[in-house]
Amino acid sequence: MTSSTNQFLKPLTTQTNSKGNLEIGGCDVVELAEKYSTPLYVVDEKTLRSICQDYKKAFGKYPKTNMMYASKALCTSAIATILADEGFGFDTVSGGEIYTVYKAGVDMSKVLFNGNNKSYDELTLALEVGVGRISVDNFFELALLNEIAQSKDIVADALLRITPGIECHTHEYIQTGHLDSKFGFDLTQIDEAIELIQNEYKNIKIHGLHAHIGSQIFETSIFPDEIEIMAKEISRINKKFNLELHEINIGGGLGVKYTEADVPPSTYEIAELIINKLHEVSEKYSIEPPTLFIEPGRSIISTSGVTLYTVGSSKQVPHGTKYVAIDGGMADNPRPSMYQAEYSAEVANKKETTDTELVTIAGRFCESGDILIKNIKLPKLEEGDILCVYNTGAYNYSMASNYNRVQRPAMVLVNNSQSDIIINRETLDDLVSHDLIPDRLKK
């Protein structure tokens, strides 16, 4: 089976240059750190485009496929521009993500709005900018969406999000398809929702079903299982309610390689299973082959991203752990603290050093749990060394915070030896720009 970019630990352009330094996108990583300071998010454009092309090629045998990038993984104007250029639509989960892709000039008919508690303002924005599909999550939202659409004298094109009762073996916080979930209609609630749309909510048109079964998925059988349930439901709904639902959104969730121990399936392997299953269920349940929506996020952006840090202090616990501190940590990458996520790293300026030691990489934030990587073998670290952490494109910047009142890092895009800032580093003035002091407190 053909390999795909999500199966690589490092960006495709990663190499050691003539100086003995790490190089990505034709750019010396040490020089990037000097030029833009650290912490620094770096995105390799070639790797990002490569995985997009993997997906398009893998699903090319099923022409009724709509590729939707899950924006929550990383949503910036430049990233949206690249994804749109590669032919992707966008799965958005907030007004902010909708507005970002809209301002980037994205074709809004290729955008879907998803989420379990969309606000009045967000739904209004989605309708005003012409979002192509709204994935309706619950009865409250059905009523609210119909009310807004009715006030604008339009019909909202929608999918019903369901919980198919499938549980994938990922971290419990990122399982979304099992029965006890905050997301979506239970299978026993679908008929009531359809009846409301047919009889009361005349400003909503349902085109199909949407489900999402988790994230960082390595199990190849789980997507066909999901399709089986959704196709059976569509067949039943069409017959019972005399409808013609013809769209299936199976979400995303394909895993990536954070460490050498991770062996995610390729996009080609997953695509073959999904396409074969779609043909099988179409015949089995006598339905038209459905239009497929698939929403990869992590597997699109993660491998293309790395984060650079500068090494600072260190502490050797007597007869115990050696801690080496960097100038970032849980505020720019909360995943190790939240999910016990594991990462791989190299020292960018010591690629050819063979003398190593076992250390734990600690963050600079005031939490004892701010540990980025436990027990990793690296060349002996000194103040000023540049640490490159791999596979940080997804859910690092997008989950970053200003904890300890620290500015969020800059982000650069690298390609063909050129680097461009795509997110400015926050300044101290940025940190206080929204602060206000009431007049009664001023002296």
Cα distance between residue 187 and residue 179, in whole Å: 9
Q: How far apart are the first and last CA of the chain?
A: 71
Cα distance between residue 162 and residue 175, in whole Å: 14
Q: For strands 204-210 and 156-163, give the pairing.
A: parallel
Neighbours of 336 (CB within 10 A): 20
Of the candidates 51, 46, 2, 3, which has an alpha carbon nearest to the alpha carbon of residue 24?
A: 46
Cα distance between residue 42 and residue 413, in whole Å: 6
**Which parts of 59-130 fold into alpha helices (H)?**
77-85, 95-103, 120-129
Amino acid found at 233: E
HSE, CB side, 13 Å, CA atoms: give it for residue 375. 1
Mark whether 388 is an active-site residue.
no
Cα distance between residue 162 and residue 368, in whole Å: 39
CB 145 within 8 A of CB 136: yes
Q: Which of 27, 52, 366, 388 is catalytic?
A: 366
Of the candidates 72, 71, 97, which has an alpha carbon nearest to the alpha carbon of residue 83?
A: 71
Which are the catalytic amino acids? 366
